[in-house]
Amino acid sequence: MIFELEKKLYHGSYMIVEEPNLTECRPGKDFGRGFYLTTDIKQAKRFVKSAVGKAVKNGIAVLNANEGYVSTYEVTDISGLKILELKDADRQWLHCVAAHRRSGILTEELVLWEKYDVIAGKIANDNTNQVITAYLNGVYGKVGTERADDIAIGLLMPEKLTDQICLRTEKAMKVIKYVSSEKQTIKL
């Protein structure tokens, strides 16, 4: 299981995040609005560059635009949480990502995921964004059809994707404990 007791999780950002706040999380992400973590420290380090770039673009005060941080957390309790783990980049995963990224599509499926405190699965990273965008724009056929799904999943190379964990509720936020942060120097 990706999200389990005592597991170390990482978050890449333009700042140290000791106390994550769901109200600051934006909608339209792969698994919906939430605080995103990964078990892969390399993935978190790669995300630092993206986070710094977005902070600069959005005019958020960044003291040093070539530095960011990977914050480390530990899972302290999972009892009582409703957790959905999407183990593969399959049809269910693709529909979950598509429905959360673009409102108004696959709405009947979107309702299924609203009950979860945590959704974990593969990350749609920079290497997959073109495929996801083409899928959402109907390049492979109508979104949600078997043909379109099969083409998109085949192009994603799911075996090369790392994981992401989305903490979607305050209940989920209470089960992680901040451990430390490490400064990352990035090349813009």
The domain spans of the chain are 8-185
Instruction: Give the model confidence (pLDDT) of 14-54 as tens digits.
Output: 889 999 999 988 888 889 999 999 999 998 998 888 888 77
What are the DSSP calls for 16-63, one per residue?
--SS--GGG--SSSTTSSSEEEBS-HHHHHHHHHHHHHHHHHTT---S
pTM score: 0.90
Query: Domain 8-185 belongs to what topology?
Result: Phosphoenolpyruvate Carboxykinase; domain 3 (3.90.228)
| Nearest alpha-carbon partner for 165 in 85, 105, 47 | 85
